[in-house]
Amino acid sequence: MKTAWTRRSFIATAVTLALGSALPALAADPIKIGLVTALSGQSARAGEAITRGLTIAIDELNASGGVLGRSFELVRRDDEATPAKGVIAARELVFKEKVAVLFGGLDTPVSLAIVPIMNQAKVPFMGPWAAGTPITKNGANPNYVFRVSAVDEIVDKAMLQYAQKNFGTKKPGLILINNPWGASNEKGLRAAMAAKQVTPAGIEKFESNDIDVVPQLTRLKQGGADTLFMAANVGPSAQVVKSLDRMGWQVPIVSHWGPAGGRFTELAGPNAKNVHFVQTYSFFGNQRPVGAKVMKMLMAKYPDIKGPDDVTPAVGVANAYDAMHLVALAIKNAGSTDGSKIREGFYKIGTYAGLIKTYDKPFSPAVHDAITENDYVWTQFIDNKILPVGMVK
């Protein structure tokens, strides 16, 4: 029986045949990577830095063919630094967008609110910023939370060591934000001081919306504080500096990295430079090949970046860049985008020459933090630039 060929059927068959050879390249959907972070408000600059670090890494991975024959796609949501909004965003990315891995953003309270969702959903959660110790040490078994960032209990030891070495600190005063991040640092600082037999002048808390911290600082001064240990994000940290200005009290400030997250110098005024704070990376000074490569990619991708001055805060870029490459290695090791297999894939990572350092088996069932006490850089704001301490430019 002769088949009747119409013009429409002929065209349809031709199109099908023409597309046939292209189907293998198009069949695999991209691997979605989620990001929940502050993309608005005082910390938006840090959220953008994380975005840029992830984007540069994803561009690099996609240019080399992606993983498992699939490219990566970044899907972002703004948590507005609010735990409730972070939870909503995380649920949307995990259950609707079906991300293979979710990156958490800036704030420890937001990340702590998201952690139970991720462990229950069995989807890996990667932290490129929030430093609260309980984020990764969350008691879950199996634990799906990993981090390439600072860790409070390690930073707190480094803060005491730095203060003793550089300021001869004998009686520090603690000024901490009154939230889970502040609580995490209080616990870490208490342990660090107890180990060195250091007695604090006092421990004071304040709220993120306080516009005056003079009463708390006055109590620390009366208690004989010779140094302040500070843990708070951009706005609250700026209020501490301005309150010290009102008091006329000049005292060394050794801080966690909260001031790096946004418009600190603008909000704190000229004495912002007196705050020494920790970072995991700096693009200033001599760079290893990976650092030079990343800087070149940043300058090519983002017209506002002309050099190291413009990569602010650098830790957002660096942590996210390394974390994304480690995530890609975990997925490659897993041979799948199944969350449980990716989790096991993290433990199989061997050596990776990253931006912050060369990682050697960075994760194990007992250790979900890739950054150690040997990976920190101490910095300060000089002319609105985050520079390593002692480097005036």
CATH fold of 153-279, please? Rossmann fold (3.40.50)
Residue of 203, 258, 219, 211 whose CA lies nearest to 239 = 211
The reply to whether 153-279 shares the fold of 27-150+287-373 is yes
Q: Is a pLDDT exceeding 60 seen at residue 16? A: no
Task: Please enumerate, as own/partner, the contacts of 241-245 that have beta carbons within 8 Å and a separation of 24 or more.
Answer: 241/268, 241/269, 241/271, 241/272, 241/274, 241/275, 242/268, 242/269, 243/212, 243/213, 243/214, 243/217, 244/217, 244/271, 245/269, 245/271
| Cα 388 to chain centroid, rounded | 19
pTM: 0.83
CB 379 within 8 A of CB 388: yes
The CATH code for residues 27-150+287-373 is: 3.40.50.2300
328 vs 10: which has the higher pLDDT = 328
**pLDDT at position 8:** 47
Q: Residue 364's beta-bridge partner residues?
A: 367
**pLDDT at position 23:** 38
Domain ranges of the chain: 27-150+287-373, 153-279
Per-residue pLDDT of 122-176, as tens digits, reads 999 999 999 999 999 999 999 999 999 999 999 999 999 999 999 999 999 999 9
Per-residue pLDDT of 161-180, as tens digits, reads 999 999 999 999 999 999 99
CA distance 156 to 172: 12
Q: Which residues contact 270 (CB under 8 A, 6 or more apart)?
A: none
**pLDDT at position 347:** 98
Q: What is the mean pLDDT of residues 317-338?
A: 98
